[in-house]
Structure 1
Amino acid sequence: MEYNDLPASQISQQRENDTPQIFRTLRNIDLNLLTIFEAVYVHKGIVNAAKILNLTPSAISQSIQKLRTIFPDPLFIRKGQGVTPTAYASHLHEYISQGLESILGALDLTGCYDKQRTITIGTPPSIGSVIMPRIYQVVKQHFPQLLIRNIPVVDASSQLGQFQTDLIIDSHVHTARTLSHHVLFRDNIVLACRDNHPLMKSPITAETLGDWEYTMLMTEGHALAHLQKRLYDMFPNRQINFSSYNLFTTAALIGSSDLLGLMPGRFFSIAALCWHLKALDYAPLQEEQIEFSLHYNKLSLRDPILQNLISVIRQAFS
């Protein structure tokens, strides 16, 4: 039976069984020898390769001899003052050069290697809808080789501390010693209602606002505790009839009922188009703002790509 005709489970099992053999084979090969092979191949001579790698010609010759014991081929044949690769060596070069190039692209120690790399940015869904379009634009402008992966924020300190996420942007301030943050922007708080809400025909006062039911966005942690307390003092008679962890769900409920709700101004500008929301002009709210910050592991600054990316994102929102 052909290999391609095997059931998927059997193919997977065979690949898993092959994995230990792959590691055993690689263990017997000094990967530094592949670098030497490439230097000799590209520079067409042992002396030239020795100069490039800062080794002696004797060391290069010994390495080529070791490679000849691994591969069933002499690899290089002396020709004049240099060497010429065999057909087998040319075949090896195609794969080895691609492999070394991929490794360099993954390491990207200088931050200037022009290869694709995925950057993971964690955001709550509502914040992502506001900021990711702008981030995508500046990343494509300055770092076209980068791919962006947007994931939810589950446990910011753990995600950043264990390098599961490169960057996190949200409205919380995470105080772990290993983390740093920069405020990207401050946003006004908007009191929202549906279009044609009865309140829009009346004066907006504390008394009239107390007659209606409200939504509430549930947040974790104590980062917004001071803001929440001020809002509670501002709306002491607020009756919470619906609460949700998702600002999109809250906006949809406001748009289809007489519920009132508080939300950041930038998100309101998006939600207003989707669910026909209107902003109620309530003077005490005009001074209230919420901060949105960029968080990262301090050790990430050792990575030139991330260091430059952080700088570009901060400039985009300055």
Structure 2
Amino acid sequence: MISPQDDERKREIFRTLRNLDLNLLTIFEAVYVHKGIVNAAKILNLTPSAISQSIQKLRLIFPDPLFIRKGQGVTPTAYATHLHEYISQGLESILGALDFHGSHNKQRTITIATSPSVGAQVIPLLYSAIQKANPHLLIRNVAITDTETQLSQFQTDLVVDGSTYTSRTIGSHLLFSDRLVMVCREGHPCSQSSVSLEQLQEHEQALITLQNDSVNEIRKRLNHLFPNLQVAFSSYNMVTIAAMISSCDLIGIMPARLFEMFKESWRLREIDTSLFSDDRLDTTLHYNKLSLRDPMMQSVIETVQRAFPAKGR
């Protein structure tokens, strides 16, 4: 919790900043670094008179002359040296955050939104590809709440899910399509041999409840194949689905990539059935097209597209 003293101190800082022309700090740094008013004027494309007036304004703010004339230049006071240590760090941080030219030696955080199960599949691959292209980038994985809102309001840089969006502001690239497998626990009656549709109908199922196009199509197909389908358990998290299937007689459907990740730790087995042999689950990268104006984001998106050379849409 913020104490009343801290709150008042922050208000005082903001009041001070409001009355301080931050351009003066840039001029201070130029005079300090280049050791003279004339040199600073050349660097900033200002007149020496304008630089002198700015230094005079700073002397009214700070209780110190800041610079003392010495020969053709000036020398900073001890107080000015103290100021320089903090001001230089602040200006460097601001320039790093703005990163006008998308410099590859600047540290920056890229936010990627996924569901837990999609994140487990794609984030390690995305991280590896992005780090090879730009090792200074930091990656932050967050949850998907509302893809179109998150992208349109720049709450996240990238979204990876299985949906399709018609908004003109959203660009997409298909990362991969995965086949679907029906799974059960080790030792389940359906794990022994080829299983018929009638045998599958005897068992309750576990379903994932993500609201995206691919999952909704799978649910429709299931309702068609199993008109009397009994869904005993559903979850938004495929890891939870896998854990449930491993501990009881539920059967379920999951992408083959996830099955390969889970089968040993959860002792899952693929059910021998051709019911879903033609079905695929898409995983797609989405981004705000305005992000392409940012050289750094354009580089990241192109890096991801090269790492997953599927047909974009």
Structure 2 distance, partners of 1:113, 1:133, is: 21
Q: 1:253 to 1:68 in 2, by over 3 A?
A: same
Distance in 2 between the 1:24 and 1:237 partners? 68
Q: Distance in 2 between matches of 1:251 and 1:306?
A: 35
Gaps of 5+ in 1: 1-8
Conservation of the 8 A alpha-carbon contact between 1:119 and 1:146: yes
Answering whether residue 21 of structure 2 is matched by residue 40 of structure 1, we say no
Give 1:187-226 correspondences, 5 Å limit.
187-220=178-211, 222=213, 224-226=215-217
Q: Does 1:76 align with 2:83?
A: no
The answer on whether the counterparts of 1:156 and 1:174 sit within 8 Å (CA) in structure 2 is no
The answer as to whether partners of 2:164 and 2:213 remain within 8 angstroms in 1 is no
Distance 1:316 1:179 in 2: 20
Please report how far the alpha carbon of residue 38 of structure 1 lies from its aligned counterpart in structure 2 after TM superposition.
0.8
Structure 2 distance, partners of 1:13, 1:141, is 47
Aligned counterparts of 2:127 and 2:5: Cα–Cα separation in 1:
41
Letter aligned with residue 142 of structure 1: A
* Distance (Å, rounded) in 2 between the aligned partners of 1:88 and 1:17: 26
Of residues 90, 95, 98, the one that matches 2:81 is: 90
Letter in 1 for 2:178: D
Distance 1:202 1:186 in 2: 27
Q: Distance in 1 between matches of 2:119 and 2:147?
A: 15
Matched, 1:291 2:273: no
* Aligned equivalent of 1:240: 231
1:255 alignment counterpart: 246
Q: 1:277 offset after TM fit, Å?
A: 0.8
Out of 121, 128, 152, the residue aligned to residue 137 of structure 1 is: 128
**Hey, what does 1:271 align to over in structure 2?**
262
1:253 partner letter: M
The answer on 1:54 being equivalent to 2:54 is no
TM-score (norm 1): 0.89
- The alpha-carbon deviation at position 171 of structure 1 amounts to 1.1
Distance 1:98 1:155 in 2: 37
Q: CA deviation at 1:140?
A: 2.9
Map 1:179-190 to 2 at 5 A.
Answer: 179-190=170-181
Q: Does 2:303 align with 1:312?
A: yes
Find the residue that maps to 2:75 and give its secondary structure: strand
Whether the 8 Å contact between 1:122 and 1:152 is mirrored in structure 2 is yes
How far residue 209 of structure 1 moved from its aligned partner, in angstroms, is 2.4
Q: In 1, distance between residues paired with 2:175 and 2:281?
A: 11
Conservation of the 8 A alpha-carbon contact between 1:105 and 1:113: no
Distance across 2 between alignment mates of 1:56 and 1:236: 83
**By how many angstroms is 1:234 displaced?**
4.3
- In structure 2, how many angstroms separate the alpha carbons of the residues matched to 1:84 and 1:288? 75
SS of the residue 1:177 aligns to:
coil
Amino acid at match of 1:259: L
- Preserved contact between residue 160 and residue 297 of structure 1 (Cα < 8 Å): yes
- Could you tell me how far apart the structure 2 residues matched to 1:67 and 1:308 are? 42
Q: 1:298 offset after TM fit, Å?
A: 2.0
Query: The residue matched to 2:263 in structure 1 has which SS?
Result: helix
Instruction: Give 1:128's match in structure 2, choosing from 119, 122, 125.
Output: 119
Return the alpha-carbon distance in structure 1 between the equivalents of residues 188 and 237 of structure 2: 23
SS of structure 2 residue aligned to 1:151: strand
Q: What are the ranges of 5 or more consecutive residues in structure 2 without an aligned counterpart? A: none
Residue 269 of structure 1: CA displacement?
1.0
Letter in 2 for 1:285: F
Deviation, structure 1 residue 95: 0.7
2:91 aligned to which of 84, 92, 100: 100
Alignment of 1:6-45 (within 5 A): 12-45=3-36
Distance in 1 (alpha carbons) for counterparts of 2:22 and 2:186: 67
Moved more, 268-277 or 167-176: 167-176
Q: Sequence identity, in percent?
A: 57
Residues in 1 aligned to 2:299 and 2:179: alpha-carbon distance in whole angstroms? 29
Paired with 1:194 and 1:25, the residues of 2 have a C-alpha distance of 66
Could you report, residue by residue, the CA deviation over 1:116-144 in whole angstroms, capped at 9, with x for unpaired residues? 32222111111111111222222333333
Contact 1:105–1:114 at 8 Å: present in 2 too? no
CA separation in 2, counterparts of 1:267 and 1:235?
24
Q: Partner of 2:140 in structure 1?
A: 149
Shift of 1:69: 1.8
Report the count of equivalent residues: 309
Per the TM alignment, residue 222 of structure 1 is displaced from its structure 2 partner at its CA by: 4.8
CA distance in structure 2 between the aligned counterparts of 1:221 and 1:146, rounded to whole angstroms: 30
Query: Do the aligned partners of 2:129 and 2:307 also contact (CA within 8 Å) in 1?
Result: yes
Question: Offset at 1:235?
Answer: 4.5
What amino acid does structure 2 have at the position aligned with 1:40? V
Displacement, 1:261?
0.8
Larger deviation, residues 253-262 vs 278-287:
278-287
